[in-house]
Amino acid sequence: MGALGLPTRRWNQDEYERLIDAGILGTQDHVELLQGEITLMSPQSERHVTAISLSLAALQQAFGAEYWLRVQSPFPLGSDTVPEPDIVVVPGTVRSYAGRRPTAALMAIEVADSSLSTDRHVKGPLYALGGIPDYWIINVADRTVEVYREPTTSHEGTDYRLIRTFRSGELIPLLALPGVLLAVDDMLP
């Protein structure tokens, strides 16, 4: 049911991609598919764009050329969910995927300026359900990085079991690269 109490139409990944291929949805629409609903994405502030660029540079230095860092690109998490994380790290290079989307990721990152609640309570559980072991929210307003690890399912649903907030001056260990640390300050505008 929609906001008016009327039935709404739910979409699956194939239908959503056909809408894009047919030009019904375009880049100007700035939408993503979340649990069967085509949802609007928050507009990006300059702080948001800067945080993505800084984080991308820090992650590229840490991960090197053997990993593909996809920026604001569709990442399927099931038959009815195709979010566009700000950054997602996948094993292999761009050429490893030649015309197909990756289906597994080492980590996903969302930069939250106006989208903090959605990133915590909607996207976090979706990334956990998709099996992404390391999910970060770069909280530009509070100047912190929230790190979510160990996806788990309970009677309440799927989410991350371990949550830790890192502040300015702290280092975050990369789950995918033991022994490698990223500075919070390197990712914040």
Name which residue leads in pLDDT, 27 or 104.
104
Helix and strand counts by DSSP (H, E) for the chain: 5, 10
Question: Which of 112, 66, 104 has its CA nearest to residue 88?
Answer: 104
Q: What is the pLDDT of residue 5?
A: 74
| Percentage of residues in the chain having pLDDT higher than 90 | 66
pLDDT in tens, 6-63: 777 889 888 888 888 888 887 777 888 888 888 888 778 899 999 999 999 999 999 9
pLDDT confidence of residue 3? 67
- For domain 42-186, is the CATH number 3.20.20.70? no
Residue 37 CB burial class (10 angstroms; 0-12, 13-18, ≥19): middle
pLDDT digit string, tens, across residues 120-168: 999 999 999 999 999 999 999 999 999 999 999 988 889 999 999 999 9
Q: Which residues pair with 137 in a beta bridge?
A: 110, 146
Tokens coding 109: 């990152």
Give this prediction's pTM.
0.89
DSSP H/E element including 109: strand 107-112
Band of pLDDT at residue 73, cut at 50, 70 and 90: very high
Beta carbons of 123 and 146 less than 8 angstroms apart? no
